Amino acid sequence: MPRGGPDASWLDRKLQTDRLEYTDRSDVPGTVKEKIVAALVQIGTKYGTHEANSVLVANMVADIPEPRILELGAGHGLLSRRVLELHPGASVTVTDIDPALVAGMAAGPLGAHPRATVRAVDATAIDAPDDSFDLVVFAAAFHHLPPAAAARAIAEGTRVGAKFLVVDGIRPTAGKLLLRYLTLPPIVGAVMLLSLRTPLSAIGPTVHDSFITCLRHYSRSAFETLAAAADSPVAVEFPATDRIENDDHPVIFTRS
């Protein structure tokens, strides 16, 4: 299935790629990946993305006194750290498939937090019983999964959790995507250099990964098709939000 969904246009199908981001490649030095993660933390902090995602998660479980939350593809773990501050009764299981990222989170504040557990978990094969969590979260990383793996992640997320929240970019129309294709690299590079004062050695790899990301986002119809491919019926919601179009947006999956 194309990233733009089964009815994607010819242009939309051309504006997608199977090329991996540096953070997904085994042949890229760990130092390069660390620079990209650090730059993404800087960008997310500067523009409030991490805070907005954390508040969204905390609000979704606000009525549950002691919610159990599973974060998939956590990377740096900032979302879970903030959720623990926002909800004093929450317990989080913070995970990633990359052992180096898991080790980094375990060595930091999350590893010492009494309400946090840090583990290596594959989002497509979650080692947990059915209904283990009140909420499963996959923020800013769902696009890393190709369609078959994405469908399995939806099936797994809705199996182990009452709700499965994905926060990621929503693929726009082909015309808007083409505009991003042409303008995103210089804009991201300029912002990192002039506004964030990012080290030069981190700009190239981060721009590369941001460019690949925009070509791998799923459209609304693609999310609906992926949900339909899950093992059991899954409902899909696209909650209204005040986020601008280029921002990550919430998608909520619920097992029927």
CATH number, domain with residue 115:
3.40.50.150
Do 124 and 178 have their domain in common? Answer: no
Do 205 and 235 have their domain in common? Answer: no
Do 87 and 144 have their domain in common? Answer: yes
Could you tell me which of 124, 101, 224, 118 has the C-alpha nearest to residue 171?
Answer: 224
Q: Determine the pLDDT at residue 179.
A: 95
Do 99 and 211 have their domain in common? Answer: no
Do 109 and 187 have their domain in common? Answer: no
Reported as a single tens digit per residue, the pLDDT across 190-227 is 999 999 999 999 999 999 999 999 999 999 999 999 99
Q: Determine the pLDDT at residue 103.
A: 96
Do 246 and 199 have their domain in common? Answer: no
Could you tell me which of 54, 234, 227, 74 has the C-alpha nearest to residue 138?
Answer: 74
How many distinct structural domains can be found in the chain? 2
Q: Determine the pLDDT at residue 231.
A: 76
* CA 234 – CA 253 distance, rounded (Å): 6
Do 12 and 95 have their domain in common? Answer: no
Residue found by looking up tokens 């954390």 in the block = 54
Do 86 and 34 have their domain in common? Answer: no
Residue found by looking up tokens 């280029």 in the block = 246
Could you tell me which of 29, 45, 254, 249 has the C-alpha nearest to residue 131?
Answer: 254
Could you tell me which of 170, 190, 165, 167 has the C-alpha nearest to residue 253?
Answer: 165
| All residues at 6 or more sequence positions from 79 whose CB lies less than 8 Å from its CB, including other chains | 50, 53, 54, 57, 71, 137, 139
Do 117 and 43 have their domain in common? Answer: no
Do 56 and 131 have their domain in common? Answer: yes
Could you tell me which of 226, 64, 247, 223 has the C-alpha nearest to residue 140?
Answer: 247
pTM of this prediction? 0.95
Distances 213 to 15, 32, 119, 128, 152 between C-alpha atoms, Å: 11, 17, 25, 29, 20
Task: List strands edge to edge, sheet with 68-72.
Answer: 116-120, 91-96, 68-72, 135-139, 164-168, 249-255, 234-237
Do 85 and 147 have their domain in common? Answer: yes
Do 11 and 34 have their domain in common? Answer: yes
In which domain, by residue range, is 65 found? Answer: 49-171+218-256
**Segments of the chain scoring below 50 in pLDDT:** none
SS3 string of 109-164?
Answer: HHHHCCCEEEEECECCECCCCCCCECEEEEECCHHHCCHHHHHHHHHHHHHHECCE
Could you tell me which of 76, 53, 216 has the C-alpha nearest to residue 135?
Answer: 53
